[in-house]
């Protein structure tokens, strides 16, 4: 598992309940390919331990990335550090997918 360098928040809303969790710099994550999609696991250790797992099929993941890209073009400019990290990660993802 790798450390989370920033933060993540999750919320799961049911008609009669809401579950929320935050994962900060003391937390870890794992993102792996599993069957026909992405498996994401977030772990917050300690006294208030939390684990969040999500599986997204590749078609949905592609749709999410495409919609996110559309929204980025309409949003205010992000910081250079965020932009540079995202560009490098997207390049690495493209290279990995092309060679599969």
> What pLDDT digit, counting tens, does each position of 18-64 carry?
999 999 999 999 999 998 999 999 999 999 999 999 999 999 999 99
Query: Angle at the Cα of 86 (from 84 to 88), degrees rounded to 5?
Result: 70
Kindly report the pTM of this predicted structure: 0.88
The 8 Å CB, 24+ separation contacts for 69-73 are: none
How far is CA 89 from each of CA 11, 18, 52, 93, rounded to the nearest angstrom?
A: 25, 32, 22, 6
Residue whose C-alpha is closest to residue 90's, from 71, 66, 74: 66
């Amino acid at each position: 598992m790798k450390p989370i360098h920033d933060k993540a928040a999750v919320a799961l809303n049911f008609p009669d309940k809401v579950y929320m969790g935050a994962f900060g710099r003391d937390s870890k994550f794992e993102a792996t390919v599993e069957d026909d999609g992405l498996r994401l696991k977030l772990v917050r250790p300690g006294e208030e331990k939390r684990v969040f797992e999500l599986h997204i099929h590749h078609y949905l993941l592609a749709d999410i990335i495409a919609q996110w890209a559309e929204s980025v073009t309409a949003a205010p400019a992000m910081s250079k550090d965020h932009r540079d990290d995202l560009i490098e990660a997207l390049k690495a993802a493209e290279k990995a997918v092309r060679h599969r």
